[in-house]
Amino acid sequence: MDFFHIVEWSTIIFTILMMMSGIPPCVSMYKTQETKNIPFFFFLICLMNSMIGLYYGVLIDNGMLKMLNILGTALWGIYIFVYILVAQVKSDAVSKVTGMFALFLSHVVYLVYIVQRHDEMVAWLGSMLFVWTNVLVIVPAWDIVEVVRRKSSEGVSVSVLMGGLMCSFVWLLYGYLLNDFNIYAPNIPGVIINVTRLVLLIAYRGGGKAKVE
């Protein structure tokens, strides 16, 4: 197995593990019938990113992107469905999901009826994938603000942090090997943010306990 295939399989494994990280809170939410502390907005961003990634994978005919984003779309969709099922007030969650789908459909309509040319479609959708992946990887930056403000690493999940770091790193490497700016570039801030979180976790470990699960 050559280096490219090792990176490709590493990307698949780490991405699937990160997608499955939503299963424990989803199961807990269903059992307790409580949506408190469930990252619904994060689920929405992940679903949007997966659908755009799937469309991009179809346009460039990348089998790995298609496979991973089909799985991602299914998993994030299930997490969101369970959230709506459990939520006491469903109208707010439903309106956000409807808005997200409307936004995605606007991307599709623009590409199919306005852009039309395949190479321009790839370039434009790649730019959108770049934007949404940046949003996805920057969201954890809020942890940096909170840890510095509290001067404590309490509540930081070591496993999730390391998983996020490795996921960003393998996607950065995979995109670089493909020479696809839209894949590797958004993961540069992802690596930087997660390394910063790791440094702060070590620096403030005396101010509180980090979660190891």
DSSP string spanning 23-45?
Answer: HHHHHHHHHHT--TT--HHHHHH
* Band (213; pLDDT cuts 50, 70, 90): very low
pLDDT score at 180: 86
Span 57-101, pLDDT tens digits = 999 998 988 999 999 999 999 999 999 998 888 898 999 999 999
Burial (0-12, 13-18, 19+ Cβ within 10 Å), 188: middle
Angle formed by the axes of helices 3-19 and 63-86, to 10°? Answer: 10
CA angle 15, 18, 20 (to 5 degrees): 110
What is the pLDDT averaged over residues 119-143? 82
For residue 157, the cross-strand partners are: 211
Task: Indicate the range of 50-64, 146-160, 169-183 predicted with least confidence.
Answer: 146-160
pLDDT score at 96: 92
d(CA 56, CA 58): 5
Q: What is the pTM of this model?
A: 0.80
Span 186-195, pLDDT tens digits = 888 888 888 8
* Band (156; pLDDT cuts 50, 70, 90): low
Cα–Cα separations (whole angstroms), residue 157 to 72, 84, 143, 189, 201 = 22, 26, 11, 20, 10
